[in-house]
Amino acid sequence: MNSILSDSALKFLDLISPEPTEILLEMELLAQERNFPTVGLQAGRAIELITTMSGATRAFEFGSGFGYSAYWIARGLPSDGSVVLTDRDQAELDIARDFLTRANLSDKAIFEIGEARKIFDNYSEQFDLILFDHYNQDYLLDFHAVKHKLLPGGVIIADNAMSGLTVSFEGLISFFDPDSDDPPLNENTMGTANYLLELKKDPSLTTFVIPIGDGLVVSVRT
C-alpha cells in the first residue's frame, strides 16, 4: 500500500489512534511478509467507523483474502450483525477464520469460497454495506450487479480509488481532466476511472472519496 498521505500525516494519525490489537499486528506482519495488499490501519479504522455510523447489520465483501478488511467491518457491526467473506482460495479463508476466531469476531462472519459475484447472486436478502477490494476492472460490473440489493441508506465502499499496485493517480487525473493528452490507462486504472465516473453520474448516490490509504470511495444510497 502506497499511502496518499504524507509520512508526517500518517505519523500524526498513528499517534492519536488506539494501539493495534495483537491480532491486528499479526495480520499486519503477515501482509508485509507476503507483500499482500491490504487497506491499511487508517483506512481500516475508517471502514470500522463507517460501518458503525451507518448502522449496518448485513455486510458483503468482494475479495476478502485473509480477512483484514472483514476484521474492521466485523468490529463495526452490532452483536447480531454479519459480514460475508468471499475468496477463491480456501486457504485464505481458513486463515481469515483463524484470525477472526481469535479476535472473538467469528460469530459475525460467514465464509464463502468462489467467485464473489456468483456468491452474491445466491443471496436473496439485501445488504446495507458492501465493500469492493478485488479487481478494479470488475468494480463497475459488480456495482451494477449489487446496487439493486443495497438498502436505502446503505453504503458501498471501494478501495484503491486513488492509487494501488497498478492504479495510477496521475492516470486518474488525466482521465477526468478534459485538457489532458496523457497516454492510455492500464486496465485497473481504467476500471477505477469508469467506476468513479459512474458514481459521479448516479443521482441515487451521495459519493465522496476519502484520501486515506490508497483512497476509499464511499457511496451512500439516498
Domains of the chain: 7-221 (3.40.50.150)
Full-model pTM: 0.94
Indicate the residue type of 135: Y
Statement: residue 120 has pLDDT above 60: yes
Task: Give the pLDDT confidence of 29-78 residue by residue, as tens digits.
Answer: 999 999 998 999 999 999 999 999 999 999 999 999 999 999 999 999 99
Task: Give the pLDDT confidence of 174-215 residue by residue, as tens digits.
Answer: 999 988 777 678 999 999 999 999 999 999 999 999 999 999
The reported pLDDT for the residue numbered 2 is 54
